[in-house]
Amino acid sequence: MKKQLLLMVFGCIVGLSVVHAQENAGLKLPAGFKAHLFAENIGQARHIAITQSGVIFAKLNYPNKDGKSIIRLEDKDKDGVADNITGWANYGGTGIYVRGDNLYASSDDAVYQYKLDAKDEVLNASAPNTIIKGLLSRRQHASKSITLDPKGNIYVNIGAYSNACQEKDRTPGSKGMMPCPILDSAGGVWKFDGLKTNQTYVDGKRYATGLRNVIGLDWNTTSNSLFVTQHGRDQLNSFFPALYTNEQNAELPGETMYEVKEGDDCGWPYIYYDPMQKKKIISPEYGGDGKKEGGNNVLDPIVAFPAHMAPMSLLFYKGDQFPAKYKDGAFIAFHGSWNRAPLPQEGYFVAFIPFKGGKPSGDWEIFANGFSGLPADTKVVNPRNAKARPCGLAESADGALYVSDDSKGAIFKITFNK
């Protein structure tokens, strides 16, 4: 009898702790929000896109063990968890975007377009239209992110295959090249026609330049303009120990968000943004000393985040499910840093910035935290310790927010209950 009681108590404790561990899928959210796992272990899920009916497409960084790299996830019984998971395509990549019955996906050197039927099933899995081809892909910052404007133009990030445009990349003492020859074909966002096939560089237009690597970008329908988030340069301390301490490197430069119009220049590689001095500072590879200002003709960031956190997705929230404060605001998925070492890493979270009239109307804040899976207040010492690394964002027609993870491939669904 006693034994039974003991067992029951024990069972309760175990049961409770399991339930507790899974509450909100381990995420920390503002009051009233809930989270759960929509899918798990689907592969390195980079960006995600969602159709009107709620079918999710995830682009994998590498094909999974079945050789598929575009994963289709459907929740047929509407219990909030994907129960019908299929896939196709054999190329790795990052970008995915859906508009109506057109599904766009990118490899590291091309953008393809698929057709969806009335049930959001792909019609031409093995024969997509090639929309853009021959984009530069030189390993570093090779991933191509994509978004569309309301007119159907497609914007593609072509990241710079370099840290700071040195003659010898990431080599101490190597000078910055003047002018930086990378910028004619990379280090910016290019604009193409979303429907024409077989476009190459000559058919596109360099829309904005001086951007080292943009992974998150989204069209803001209020301001009717493109917003991008840049991954700032690394390793100020390792190359210029006389100018920057480890502590300074961990905070420099800011990860920046810009509103870009056609022809804009954001300044890479000649300057970086110092969020403490709130100034554009000349890069040390180009004669800077950590104080000299530069870049009079280049854009100021519209928001600056702490250094090295790696913004992976930008999404303007259009729905009504979340409280009014979130409407039209920006969600940003941060991958989490590596270049703060030897200091602890930061930024394995989704941030939020309120917007009014197409401009930020308040400070940024952490919206969803705890993706690293480490106990509260434990710092991530190495990126590989993080259980999940936020990467893609998508909003369903009913205003739920989905977050993908590109370490093991979880998809979190975040909802709000009034």
Partner 1 sequence: MRKKLFMCLLLLVGVYFAQAQNGIIGEKVYKTKCLVCHQADGGGVPNLNAPLDGATNVVGSDIARLVKIIRYGYNERVALDGYYYSNAMPANPALTSTEIAAVLSYIRNSWSNKAPSVTLAQVQKLLKKK
Which residues of the shown chain bind partner 1 in the complex (CB under 8 A)?
A: 44, 61-62, 139-142, 168-172, 234-235, 237-238, 338-339, 341-342, 381-385, 389, 407
Beta carbons within 10 angstroms of residue 282's beta carbon: 20
Among residues 34 and 170, whose Cβ is nearest to partner 1?
170
Q: How far is the CB of 8 from partner 1 (least distance, A)?
A: 42
Q: How far is the CB of 311 from partner 1 (least distance, A)?
A: 16
Among residues 142 and 298, whose Cβ is nearest to partner 1?
142
Q: How far is the CB of 338 from partner 1 (least distance, A)?
A: 4
Q: How far is the CB of 141 from partner 1 (least distance, A)?
A: 8
Among residues 201 and 338, whose Cβ is nearest to partner 1?
338
Length of the chain: 418
Q: How far is the CB of 384 from partner 1 (least distance, A)?
A: 4
> Which two three-digit tokens encode residue 62?
């590498």
Among residues 125 and 243, whose Cβ is nearest to partner 1?
243
Among residues 222 and 238, whose Cβ is nearest to partner 1?
238
Q: How far is the CB of 172 from partner 1 (least distance, A)?
A: 8
Among residues 250 and 303, whose Cβ is nearest to partner 1?
250
Q: How far is the CB of 139 from partner 1 (least distance, A)?
A: 5
Among residues 361 and 382, whose Cβ is nearest to partner 1?
382
